[in-house]
């Protein structure tokens, strides 16, 4: 499968994804508050937050697994692109995405879904963030068989349009 075909960008509800794992835009304390994390907590049930409490605080840029509770996936990968007193930066976003992909590789996850990590509550600019997220995914997939397919699931058309534009730009450069 061509590299470009291993990445899919759609509009939807990430908590309805039926692959093996979804990525949570987490904070370093692994508290499932609002945004994507809040939706995961609400639909997935209390067991996910309970597992997060057992794990405790993780470093900014790190990513860890929990089970997915009542969600349709097996796992939630909590990608800490921000802390409670630490903003999302280019480096923390890049590391959170990279470490999420490494977790997929470790468990041989075939299908994973990412939200716009760091670009919601964390406030990282969508245009810059989408470029960092997608470049990191393209780079990782070019060297790894897992995950086989990465879905980027966005909550609105505005976000989708930005991601799709950046995706097309990166794809064009790769084909040249």
Nearest to 3 by CA among 160, 176, 139: 139
- Rounded to whole angstroms, how far apart are CA atoms 100 and 136? 11
Give the chain's domain count: 1
| Statement: residue 7 has pLDDT above 70 | yes
CATH of the domain at 43: 3.40.220.10
Q: How confident is the model at residue 124 (pLDDT cuts 50, 70, 90)?
A: confident
Q: pLDDT confidence of 174, banded at 50, 70, 90?
A: confident
Return d(Cα 117, Cα 79) in angstroms, integer: 8
Which pLDDT tens digit goes with each residue over 142-164?
999 999 999 999 999 999 999 99
Whole-angstrom Cα distance, residue 1 to residue 15? 26
Domain boundaries, position 103: 3-175
Q: pTM here?
A: 0.94
pLDDT tens figures, 10-41:
999 999 999 999 999 999 999 998 888 999 99
Q: Give burial (CB, 10 Å; 0-12/13-18/19+) of 84.
A: exposed
Write out the E strands in 40-91.
Answer: 63-67, 75-82
What's the rounded Cα separation, in Å, for the pair 59 and 123? 19
Q: What is the pLDDT at residue 122?
A: 62
Q: What is the pLDDT of residue 145?
A: 94
Per residue in 52-91, pLDDT (tens digit) is 999 999 999 999 999 999 999 999 999 998 876 777 789 9
pLDDT at 132: 95
């Amino acid at each position: 499968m061509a590299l470009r075909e291993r990445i899919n960008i759609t509009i939807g509800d990430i908590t309805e994804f039926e692959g093996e794992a979804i990525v949570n835009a987490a904070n370093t304390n692994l508290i499932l508050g609002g945004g994507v994390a809040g939706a995961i907590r609400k639909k997935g049930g209390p067991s996910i937050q309970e597992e997060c409490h057992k794990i405790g605080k993780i470093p900014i840029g790190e990513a860890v697994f929990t089970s997915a509770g009542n969600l349709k996936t097996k796992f939630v990968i909590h990608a800490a692109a921000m802390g409670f007193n630490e903003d999302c930066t280019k480096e923390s976003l890049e590391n959170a995405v990279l470490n999420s992909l490494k977790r997929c590789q470790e468990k041989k996850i075939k299908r994973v879904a990412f939200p716009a990590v760091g670009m919601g509550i964390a406030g990282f600019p969508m245009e810059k963030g989408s470029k960092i997220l997608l470049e990191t995914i393209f780079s990782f997939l070019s060297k790894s068989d897992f995950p086989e397919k990465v879905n980027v699931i966005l909550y609105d058309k505005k976000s989708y349009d930005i991601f799709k534009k950046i995706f097309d730009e990166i794809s064009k450069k790769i084909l040249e």
